Structure 1
Amino acid sequence: MRRTGYLEHNAGSLYYEVVGTGDPAVLIHGFSLDHRMWREQVRGLRPDFRVVTYDCRGFGRSSCPTGAYSHHDDLRRLLAHLGIDSAHLVGVSMGGRIALNYALRWPGSVRSLALIGSDVGGHRHRIDWDVDVEKLGLAGARAAWLAHELFDTVRTHRAGWAAVRAMVRDYSGWHWSHADIRVPSDTGAVERLHEVRARTSVIVGELDLPDFHEIARVLQARIRRVRPVVMPGVGHLVNLEAPRTCTELLRRHLMGVSPSTTRG
């Protein structure tokens, strides 16, 4: 059974989909993408889990911010709307950053974390993220973004690249043309990783950019209950470049099959 809908919250709406039964697992997408990036994982996990996907504010079918907002507060309200007290959180890139912020704010509500090519608040990137939408226009900005080195490896995967292009084509571009009005700031998150209580898998593609390998090393060093995984032959978007392998890895993680390494 598939449930779809919109949550009205903080002068906006958040689109979500729920399928399957069992323990809740929430899959959180990366920047400029949306819930569709998880289609293969939803298909593979739904027999055993209640899988929740949604579009973060400003992405996909969700509305753009109209004032101060918080991605992790949006997620908290969505789970309350769905009657979910605690859940496994899975996030790619920006989605991993959101999952970490949620786990730091509401540690008792997180059953486990799977962080894939994750960002973390407070990391100083060497990557050039700027897209000049004023100069290029929205169509030009989308094209420039699709040419970013972040997507170099996914371009060689036909289905994954088609999915990325479709999602970026539908991205509002809001974050390229507006100041960041998220509150509170999460720039101190990198210094609080020792507070994460949940069992955590830190997953990074072998061919991902150096920044994300550096972040993975920090997460592995500072989170207490952690299992590091390097996926061979893939880059930043592991779940789109090696969907079956990623789905099986997530299944094992969610079921607690693979042991974690405890530090501290």
Structure 2
Amino acid sequence: MLIHGFTLDRRVWRPQVRSLSAGFRVITYDCRGFGRSSAPAGPYSHHDDLHRLLRHLGVARPHLAGLSMGGRIALNYALARPGSARSLTLIGSDVGGHRYGFDWDAGLAALDPAAAKAVWLRHELFGTVRRHPQAWELVRAMVADYSGWHWRNRDPRLPPDTGAVTRLAEIRAPVDVVVGALDLTDFHRVSRTLATRIPGAHRTVLPGVGHMAGLEAPDAVNALLLRRLTCGSRQQRSDP
């Protein structure tokens, strides 16, 4: 199960779907309020949405991979349902409770959607993906299709997950923490926190890569995911 980041949608995983689907069942989806999914109409949580989707699809113990916000969702899923995730791959991940050194939404709520998106696309998060024309075109398309709902409304997510960073030691699934060498300082801090506090977690730094690792270095990310999936398949066959 591949979980996208903020203002993006399931299309961000196109390079991974092409690579992984030859040998594995690969599922992507649009989180609530993003892509083709409807905006929140009341209290909800992304990890509960994920749980219901997996149950509907008949998936009991998924491998989860998340980019940025998607990593945060994967972590919350694993914390809410111990033993339910076969593995976590956290790429440029967010985590509830981390205090960022920058304002994610500075001034965007006051702008009309088109202007807000133009400002957002100038964010340093996207600094390195601009060097990759096809990837940058896809990012621009996803942001263009984003409704902007979260900039204009109070998000009714429940319950708050700000304590997640203090509960990382509870995670028992195999965890790969991945961060681009050129990603923002905050995401390096988060990656080190995850790798230090989650038992047995392994941290990989991808050289020459920024926040959008799966688009900027698809071969490297695909190799990491395939290694995790292959390892998980061998372990599953050996379990009694």
Which deviates more from structure 2 when the two are superposed, residues 104-113 or residues 165-174?
104-113
- Pair 117,214 (structure 1): closer, same or farther in 2 beyond 3 Å: same
Amino acid at match of 2:209: V
Deviation at 1:132, TM superposition (A): 3.1
Deviation at 1:161, TM superposition (A): 0.5
Which deviates more from structure 2 when the two are superposed, residues 175-184 or residues 52-61?
175-184
Are 2:32 and 1:57 equivalent residues in the alignment?
Answer: yes
Q: How far, CA to CA, are the matches of 1:128 and 1:97 in structure 2? A: 18
- Where structure 2 has 5 or more consecutive residues not aligned to the other structure, the ranges are 233-240
Deviation at 1:107, TM superposition (A): 1.9
| Secondary structure of the structure 1 residue equivalent to 2:44 | coil
Do the aligned residues in 2 keep the contact of 1:131 with 1:145 (CA within 8 Å)?
Answer: no
1:3 match: none
After superposition, where does 1:38-117 map in structure 2 within 5 Å?
A: 38-117=13-92
Q: How far, CA to CA, are the matches of 2:96 and 2:110 in structure 1? A: 29
After superposition, where does 1:45-194 map in structure 2 within 5 Å?
A: 45-194=20-169
Q: Which has the higher helix share?
A: 2
- Pair 134,175 (structure 1): closer, same or farther in 2 beyond 3 Å: closer
What TM-score results when the alignment is normalised by the length of structure 2?
Answer: 0.95
Q: How far, CA to CA, are the matches of 2:11 and 2:107 in structure 1? A: 26
Are 2:225 and 1:250 equivalent residues in the alignment?
Answer: yes
Q: Deviations over 1:208-248 (max 9, x none)?
A: 00000000010011000211100000100100101122111
1:31 match: 6
Deviation at 1:64, TM superposition (A): 0.3
- Which structure has more relative contact order (CA 8 Å, sep 6+)? It is 2
Q: How far, CA to CA, are the matches of 2:108 and 2:131 in structure 1? A: 27
Deviation at 1:133, TM superposition (A): 4.1
Amino acid at match of 1:251: L
Do the aligned residues in 2 keep the contact of 1:235 with 1:241 (CA within 8 Å)?
Answer: yes
Q: Alignment RMSD, CA only?
A: 1.0
| Secondary structure of the structure 2 residue equivalent to 1:246 | helix
Q: How far, CA to CA, are the matches of 2:132 and 2:114 in structure 1? A: 23
